[in-house]
A and B are shown apart, each in its own frame.
Chain A
Amino acid sequence: MIAGALFYYQFHSWRNRLLTRVRRLRQPKYLAGAIVGGLYFYFYLFRGFTRGHRPPSATTLPLSPEMNDLPQTLAALVFMFMLLMAWILPHSRAALAFTEAEVAFLFPAPISRKTLIHFKLLKSQTAILFSALLMTLIGRGWGGGHLLTRALGWWAAFSVLNLHLLGSSFALTMLMDRGISTWKRRVLILGAAVAAVAGIFIWTRHSLPPFPTVSDQGGFAWLFRYIGRVFASGPLPYLLMPFRLVVAPYFAASYTKFLITLAPVLGIIWLHYLWVIHSNVAFEEASVEFSRKLAERIAAARVGNLRGARRPKKAARPPFVLRPAGHPAVAVFWKNLISAGQYVTARVWLMLVWIVVVSGALLQSNWAFGGGGFGTVVIFFVGMLLAMSLFYGPQVLRNDLRQDLPVADVLKMFPMPGWQIVLGEVLTPAAMLAGAQWLLILFGAIFFPQQFEKHTVPLALRLSVALSAVVVLPFIDLLALLIPNASVLFFPAWFQLGKDAPRGFETMGQQLILMFGQLLVLLLGLAPAGGAFALLLWGGSFVHWPLLGLMLGAFAAAMILAIEVAVGIMLLGGVFERFDVSGELLV
């Protein structure tokens, strides 16, 4: 009877969720997302099948027959590592993941503990089956057997992993209840692991095959061959045996072999099941706490705030003293800097400076006698990181309206015009990005060699280029940051949905549309400044004052960008003032 009720709950939850998602496709924003997301999935996952580019049963790793065993050995090694981590990492009590509603209805209901565990185990099969399917599609070129056997192989491995994580968390909770602290347990387990590794090392030293000599080496085949032989020596095959058994169905070359290899895995799953179901551990209290945190995470994510779900653990120091008199936008900047200070502390900045200086000094000393190679490395390093900061920085640093969207109603009550709020909001990530970029430029200016591929690069040129970048980059950052902030205000539903339902491919489609839209707008915004810069640089070169052209071009570009940013902030401020939080967040 209870099982029937739980099945009813699960089935109808599923069905209703699916129906809701199908129904919402009537709205153009979801339909567009679904089409783009569907196309993405098609091109990424399925195209190979329909065109027959990748025969599903082929083993595509270029290994000789004697090394066919190596992937299975490595997979077993990874699996062993994951299970070992399950015994070392967790530090809280065992908790079965229930939603708040499940805790509220099922925990006080006349349902046995065993039934609750069964319910959770069956429910977890949904995620396991989905993951197995996804991994089969993603890893269709990784080798192994037939597509179906690989899918079932993934299922078997995930099932064992899931049960083992649960069983180990129960066992660790029992240890905790017997007074064995987290650190004591970690030291014991790590000590045992280190002792085992040391023992195996000593044992295998005598049975290890000799390391190949230089003359034997050709390509990487020798390395694979050697690793394969190492894992076949001494006690390693026996140690890896249980893990090899778990991953064996994935690698089975035929259906017959698959069935033969599946039998022991089913036995392992059954033993794990018995272990979990007979562990007498009170998980309810920790599950209640877990469900509360889960509900908080979902609530924060529903309003587009993934970071908000991560509650700060300790207060961060204010970056500067905020006086009551002055521009109120500075207060928003100050507030967001404190928020950013939870993650990007002064220590992080110091460490960055240290890394930059030390790596620069080391690189320079290595290349001191090597000519122009060092210059290439510096250009590559600085250029790559600057490009990454421009592209990913505005997506990663979100201490702006994206963070404050859940408290938009509070911001709207402040006696400030909208543009001041927008300015205060975007200043924090812009300042952080500009700080990191200036550090990179400083690195480039200091460490770039004076001689670069037969050309002399005087200090004046290096400083001019650095100064130009220093002037222009903060405005590019501001422009780049205005775009996602505008997205929040213009398409809040898309923004929220992006975090609310990360599993839907229509969501992925929406994210892709937003990303390309942002890129396009940024390129359009940069075009006038880029044009002015190019024109002045060319003019400077034409009159044989290239440095002057460079500097003037940079300042002109900065001015154009500043105007664009100012106009953008004023426009967004107006949008914020008209932003109806009732339609987007409160209702």
Chain B
Amino acid sequence: MDIAPPPITATTAPPPQIEVAALTKLYGDFTAVNDLSFSVRPGEVIGLVGPNGAGKTTTLRCLAGIIPPTSGAVRICGFDLARQPIEAKRRLAFFSDEPRLFDYLTVSQHLTFIARIYGVAGYEETGRRLLEELEIADKADKLPVELSRGMKQKLAIACGLLHAPSVIFFDEPLTGLDPIGIRRMKDSILKRARDGAAILISSHLLHLLEEVCSHVLILKAGRKVFDGSLAEVRERFSEQAGGGNLEDAFFRATGETKGEE
């Protein structure tokens, strides 16, 4: 297995595709996300990690335009999500941990519907290719209720990728996938990054993030604890300089204890 994070060259860094400035989200008195700022450039895959309740999913939903932030700004490909939501949303895709599908639309009808929403000309060919790539081409006339959990996830992915988004958000992308599906998902993430997409992945699977991410953003209680490259996080939070893994770094960064230790 030679999956490697895409190379990042600091000298020719293009402008960020995702820019987050002082993002804050309150639920009544509870602060879910507190003054969060970071950016993601094309080709970067950033892993969003943190303990339960750290604000990862809330952050992703704010960035995808599903829930409005209480304060702060989000720019997607240079478009302000609050002021130019249509332009910003045209360029992003969000994959939730649970595939969100319309019960009464078939696989192919999902693609037709999404193509009209995003105005994807020639979607038939792109859609066919995506379904083949995701190995659900033979399920084109099936309803979601007739699909397994993994197939539903693949359909959600096909819908999300149909308009070739420049910014992709994943919330626990490997939930419910079999080993082959996991491998394909990793390959797919890296391929999109190589094609220039900016990707943000929220996951508790630190080994996955270690395999696909170029950067890590660690949250705790809604606040940013660390934001940097994998090498930087290892260097800063590992006992051995330059050694250790993301798991060790995570425990040190969040101040958690590791099971029996």
Residues on A lying within 8 angstroms of B by beta carbon are: 308, 311-316, 318, 322-326, 328, 330-331, 334-335, 338-339, 342, 407, 409-410, 412-417, 577-578, 580-583, 586-587
Contacts and interface: CB of A to CB of B under 8 A. Distances in A.
Contacts of B89: 413-415
Contact of A311 (B66, B92, B103): B103
Nearest to A424: B117
Given A315-B141, A324-B121, A330-B116, A407 B100 contact: yes
A338 B120 CA distance: 21
Contact of B67 (A308, A326, A581): A581
Nearest to B30: A587
B153 interface: no
Given A322-B112, A324-B115, A335-B105, A311 B27 contact: no
Interface stretch (B4-12, B57-65, B185-193, B214-222): B57-65
Interface in B86-138: 86-90, 92, 94, 96, 100, 102-106, 109, 112-113, 115-123
The 5 residue pairs across chains A and B that have the minimum distance between CB atoms: A331-B116, A415-B89, A582-B67, A324-B115, A415-B90
A582 B103 contact: no
B109 A412 contact: no
B85 interface: yes
B143 A324 contact: no
B21 interface: no
Contacts, number: 98
Interface string B206-225: 00000000000000000000
A586 B61 contact: yes
Nearest to A300: B103
B231 interface: no
Contacts of A581: 66-67
B185 to A, nearest CB: 20
Contact of B66 (A323, A338, A409, A415): A409
B103 A324 contact: no
Given A324-B120, A335-B102, A335-B105, A582 B27 contact: yes
Contacts of A311: 103, 145
B15 interface: no
A314 to B, nearest CB: 7
B68 interface: yes
17 contacts: A311-B103, A312-B143, A313-B145, A315-B104, A318-B112, A324-B122, A324-B123, A325-B116, A328-B116, A410-B100, A412-B66, A413-B65, A414-B89, A414-B117, A415-B87, A417-B86, A582-B66
Contacts of B61: 409, 582, 586
A318 B85 CA distance: 30
Nearest to B156: A410
Contacts of A313: 145
Interface of B: 25, 27, 58, 61, 64-68, 85-90, 92, 94, 96, 100, 102-106, 109, 112-113, 115-123, 141-143, 145
Count chain A CB atoms within 10 A of each CB in B27, B90, B103, B119 and give the residue with the most.
B103
Contacts of B85: 415, 577
A7 B68 CA distance: 46
A581 B120 CA distance: 27
B100 A338 contact: no
B121 A325 contact: yes
B68 A578 contact: yes
B188 to A, nearest CB: 20
Contacts of B113: 322, 331, 334-335
B104 A312 contact: yes
B65 A339 contact: no
A583 B90 CA distance: 25
Contacts of A409: 61, 66, 96, 100
Contacts of A330: 116
A308 B116 contact: no
Contacts of B103: 308, 311-312
B118 A339 contact: no
A308 B104 CA distance: 9
B179 to A, nearest CB: 26
Contact of A416 (B86, B96, B115, B120): B86
Nearest to B162: A324
Contacts of B86: 415-417
Count chain B CB atoms within 10 A of each CB in A316, A318, A325, A412 and give the residue with the most.
A412
A315 B106 contact: yes
A326 B123 CA distance: 14
B170 to A, nearest CB: 14
A312 B116 contact: no
A300 to B, nearest CB: 9
A577 B115 CA distance: 22
A333 to B, nearest CB: 10
A259 B106 CA distance: 61
Contacts of A407: 100, 102
Contact of B104 (A339, A416, A417, A587): A339
Contacts of B92: 413
A415 B102 contact: no
Contacts of B105: 335, 338
Contacts of A323: 116
Nearest to B122: A324
Count chain B CB atoms within 10 A of each CB in A322, A326, A415, A577 and give the residue with the most.
A415
A416 B64 CA distance: 13
A150 to B, nearest CB: 44
Nearest to B61: A582
Contacts of A326: 116
Contacts of A587: 27
Contact of B94 (A325, A342, A413): A413
Contacts of A315: 104, 106, 109, 141-143
A391 to B, nearest CB: 27
Contacts of B121: 324-325
Count chain B CB atoms within 10 A of each CB in A342, A409, A583 and give the residue with the most.
A409
A586 B61 CA distance: 10
A194 B85 CA distance: 67
Contacts of B145: 311-313
A40 B147 CA distance: 46
A323 B120 CA distance: 9
Nearest to A321: B112
Count chain B CB atoms within 10 A of each CB in A313, A330, A410 and give the residue with the most.
A410
Contacts of B117: 328, 331, 414-416
Contacts of A339: 102, 104
A416 B89 CA distance: 8
Given A325-B121, A415-B90, A586-B67, 14 more contacts: A308-B103, A311-B103, A315-B106, A315-B142, A318-B109, A330-B116, A335-B113, A407-B102, A409-B66, A415-B85, A415-B89, A581-B66, A582-B25, A582-B67
Contacts of A412: 65-67
B126 to A, nearest CB: 10
